[in-house]
Amino acid sequence: MGSFSTASDCQRLAGKVALITGAASGIGKATAREFIRNGAKVILADVQDDAGRAFAAGLGPDAAYTRCDVTDDNAGAAGASAPGKLESLDLADFDRVMATNARSAVACLKHAARVMAPRGAGCVLCTGSTAGVLGSDAALPYSLSKAAVVSVVRLAAEELARSGVRVNAISPHIIATPLLVRSLTRMHPGVGEEQLKRMVEVGMSGIRGAVLEVEDVARAAVYLASDEAKYVTGHNLVVDGGFTTSKRSVTAVAK
């Protein structure tokens, strides 16, 4: 195969309704757009009310926005702490990140199961991270919280399979969004933003000529949510260009 189109050209999610959390920005926003393009009706959930409402309006009549906050803290700060040694771990920071990433995933699974299991159908997707697959430079609370997400997905998949409900995870590698680049600047002082962006897009890529984008993660979600994946459950789909097959790290690439 020589080339392929990066745009969806079929209604793979026609007749389905999806609730997407964190849909006002980043991966969630790209996923909502891709779901709409594939024929789904989408409810956008976020804490960024203005951005969420504006995005929903732009998507058209098949999208609606609702505020959803299942944490006690600002989700945007999750995992923002710099990597450090275990002996200096701030347990308050650990609790906050675990609540934002792991507890919120459990809460969503709980309430999704409450609705889907009696109906005998449904699909739940949770967001993991390569940090939870291959711990390296990510802060310990963040890596552990994302590993916990994958574990709870497997447990939930086993339980809910008997009710016809599928549960899967998607673990993307880091993507050079402006927010990520700013975070890396704090973690690697003295390294310029352009170098950090290149570090992510080129130095940490496993596939020559390809750069990981939020749309790649969104298309993985479309597959797992579609009937094409009707026999896939308890799976963690790693979208990383093969990065976790090596022992490279952010620090090593940055040097």
Residue 167 near residue 109, CB atoms below 8 Å = yes
Nearest CA to 112 among 103, 97, 125?
A: 125
Q: Cα(70)–Cα(46) distance, rounded to whole angstroms? A: 10
- Rounded alpha-carbon distances, angstroms, from residue 1 to 4, 87, 213, 220, 223: 8, 51, 21, 20, 20
Nearest CA to 197 among 171, 173, 174?
A: 174
Alpha helical stretches, state H, the chain:
26-37, 49-59, 91-98, 104-119, 130-133, 140-160, 178-187, 193-198, 214-225, 250-254
* Tokens, residue 9: 């050209």
Q: Cα(30)–Cα(178) distance, rounded to whole angstroms? A: 15
Radius of gyration of the chain (CA): 18
The helix (H) or strand (E) run that includes residue 123 is: strand 122-127
Active-site residue set: 142
Phi, psi of 170 (to 5 degrees): -125, 125
